[in-house]
Amino acid sequence: MELKSQVEVEAKFSVTSDTVVPDLTTIMGVEQIVSTKVHHLSAVYYDTEDLRLTRSKITLRRRTGGTDDGWHIKFPGKTGRLEIHHPIDRGTKIPEEIRSMVRSIVRDEPLSPIAQVDNERHETLLGDAAGTVVAEFCDDHVSATSLKSNTATSWREWEVEVTPAAPSTLIAAATEVLTRAGAAASKSPSKLAMALGPDLPTEPMVDNNLDPNSPTAGVIAALKRNRDKLLAYDPRVRRDEWDSVHQMRVATRELRSHLQSFASILAGTHHKDVSEELKHLAATLGVARDAEVIAERFKDLCDQHPSGIIDAASGKQLHDDMLAEYAAAHQKVVAALNDDRYLRLLDELDELIAHPQELADPDPTPASTHVLLEQLRKSYKRLMKLHNKAMSDWDGRSSLRPQQEQKFHNVRKAAKKLRYTTEAVGDATDIPTGQLYRACKQLQEVLGNFQDSITSRKKLLAKSHEAFKRGENIFIYGVLYETEVELSRNIMQDYPAAMAAVTQAYQRL
């Protein structure tokens, strides 16, 4: 069954039992009351025994009694909370579609009720002059019980949630009116947090107890950041959000790069096994990502071709073929995310971060920066070696032959590794690595565009062979292939300056 989603943009307020709701039409942007209703809502919240979802600021509930009865998952976001809905039936078993959205967090752990929240909601829909609903105001009278400790609590709160039709200033305008009426901005992030009370976890599940000044601590911090990014993008990839496969692949590759670059800091062989599993995951994501990129590239090539000789039907067919390839590759990605192999990888990552094996004789604090800088030096040295090798048989102007293209692909991978290492060093030390990081990113972008053009050419060639066997006109493939050849040549004109910027930034460290 298809999941539905929406992004919640709202503000919550604490109020006393006798606080009077003000005239809501005095909120700038609100001209009328569209409707008022009273709902009796009852929600049961689910989590693992160790409250993994709650620690990750994710809520999973089964709610009845309102206009959106169903299973709801709420994920944190930059502009608001993403809420995913699934309809309910008579049972209380968590639907597989819902459980899959949090599988990367809960793994194989059972989910059971942790809290119940009952709410008498007085709902008021606020409209603009035309009667279009711009916000929902809720006066909530809440009674809640933590099922972990069987403790009960009650409170009253107000919520204002804006719709896409609302002006950008409406939340601020509502806050001004409501606080003037006696409300205070809520200090509690959610009703679940209020319900759990003292049962709400405040400490991380594990603490590696590393010396924060040790080189190992810097590496583990970088690993944790990308592990968290990988977990955050897991449900987005499952829902096929735009660019999610790319971002999950970036996190996977960066994790692997850190494990390789800082292998001399971590003892044992555990990190090597994790690195191999990350390589496998990145490869699976890579097939889908390449298809996604090429589909958009083909569309742009056809739509923007200056000749005007590419008809719309041919361009659409080419684009649709690549979208079909992406859809098939995405299904394989989701299958991989549901596989035990992936869940075990996440377990191994958690173990590596929670209990890293340090070298028997770790460097004292003054030498920690030196250890990290040595890894940076090695990454830069390898980049320059590959750069010199690539430039040895290229005049900087002509088109590159396949064997030359591979050399610059190797440069791109080295630039990526230097960028990741630079970020880790910057996070773990006081060394200002920002300029080098940005220069590496720009170089990587130039070579990434170049590699996309190469991949596009290879795909066009393969597609032309398939079309020829079917007896179709392959003229469009030849036109686009030559266009990509010219684009490749133009892209590489930016390479010397991008590499010079990296060299200059490194020398300034």
Residue 7 has pLDDT above 90, yes or no: no
DSSP-derived letter for residue 419 is H
Q: Which two tokens stand for residue 454?
A: 């190469």
pLDDT confidence tier of residue 3, bands split at 50, 70 and 90: confident
Residue 402 has pLDDT above 60, yes or no: yes
DSSP code string of 204-233: -S------TTSHHHHHHHHHHHHHHHHHHH
pLDDT confidence tier of residue 281, bands split at 50, 70 and 90: very high
For 476, other C-beta atoms within 10 Å of its C-beta total 23
Residue 405 has pLDDT above 60, yes or no: yes
pLDDT in tens, 320-334: 999 999 999 999 999
Fold type of domain 206-361: Four Helix Bundle (Hemerythrin (Met), subunit A) (1.20.120)
What is the mean pLDDT of the segment spanning 384-406? 92
pLDDT in tens, 218-257: 888 889 999 999 999 999 999 999 999 999 999 999 999 8
- SS3 labels along 315-363: HHHHHHHHHHHHHHHHHHHHHHHCCHHHHHHHHHHHHHHHCCCECCCCC
Write down the domain spans for the chain.
4-199, 206-361, 363-509
Within the chain, how many helices (H) and strands (E) appear?
Answer: 15, 10
pLDDT in tens, 169-201: 999 999 999 999 999 999 887 899 999 999 988
What is the mean pLDDT of the segment spanning 271-280? 94
pLDDT in tens, 131-144: 999 999 999 999 99
pLDDT in tens, 449-485: 999 999 999 999 999 999 999 998 899 999 999 999 9
Window from 77-81, 100-104, 262-266, 359-363 with minimum mean pLDDT: 359-363
209 Rama sector, left if φ>0, alpha if ψ -120 to 50, beta otherwise: left
Helix intervals (H) in 6-155: 52-55, 96-101, 103-106
- Continuous segment of H or E residues that includes residue 308: none
What is the mean pLDDT of the segment spanning 10-19? 96
291/502 Cα distance (integer angstroms): 30
What is the mean pLDDT of the segment spanning 283-307? 93
Q: Is the model more confident about 18 or about 210?
A: 18
- CATH superfamily of this structure's domain 4-199: Hypothetical Protein Pfu-838710-001 (2.40.320.10)
Window from 39-43, 149-153, 363-367 with minimum mean pLDDT: 363-367
